[in-house]
Amino acid sequence: MSGESTLSPADLARFEQNRLAAKSRIAQARPAVVSNDAAAEPKPTSMQRKRRAIDLTYCEYNLSTMKDTKGGFLYEEQSLPDSKKQKQEERPVVYEPTIDLILENNPQCETCKSIDLDPQYLLHFKVQVCRQCKDKHPEKYSLLTKTECREDYLLTDSELRDDRLLPHWERPNPHKSTYSKMLLYLRSQVEKFAWEKWGGPEALDAEFERRESEKKERKDKKFKLKMNGRR
The residues of the shown chain that bind DNA, judged by CB under 7 A, are: 7, 11, 13-14, 17-18, 21-22, 50, 55, 57-58, 145-148, 151-152, 154, 156-159, 173-176, 178-184, 211, 214-215, 218-219
Nearer to DNA by Cβ, of 117 and 184: the residue is 184
| Residues 18-47 close enough to bind a second copy by CB under 8 A | none
Residue 231's binding partner out of DNA, a second copy, none, with CB under 5 to 8 Å set by partner kind: a second copy
Pairing of strands 143-145, 169-171: unpaired
Which does residue 116 touch among DNA, a second copy, none (CB within 5 to 8 A, set by kind)? none
Q: Which residues contact 204 (CB under 8 A, 6 or more apart)?
A: 51, 153, 154, 194, 195, 198
Q: By C-alpha distance, which of 202, 153, 204 is closest to 36?
A: 202
| 5 versus 98: smaller Cβ distance to a second copy | 5
- Among 5-13, 52-60, 65-73, 187-195, the segment contacting a second copy (CB under 8 A): 5-13
Neighbouring C-beta atoms of residue 62, cutoff 10 Å = 10
List of long-range contacts for 85-93, beta carbons under 8 Å, 24+ apart: 89/1, 93/67, 93/119, 93/123
Count the alpha carbons within 13 Å of 202 in the hemisphere toward its beta carbon: 12
Q: Which among a second copy, DNA, none contacts residue 17 (Cβ within 5 to 8 A by kind)?
A: DNA
Binding mask 131-170 for a second copy (x = CB under 8 A): ------------------------------x---------
Whichever of 34 and 225 has its CB closer to a second copy, that residue is: 225
Do the bridges between strand 169-171 and strand 182-186 make them parallel or antiparallel, or are there none, so unpaired? antiparallel
* C-alpha span between 22 and 167 (Å, rounded): 23
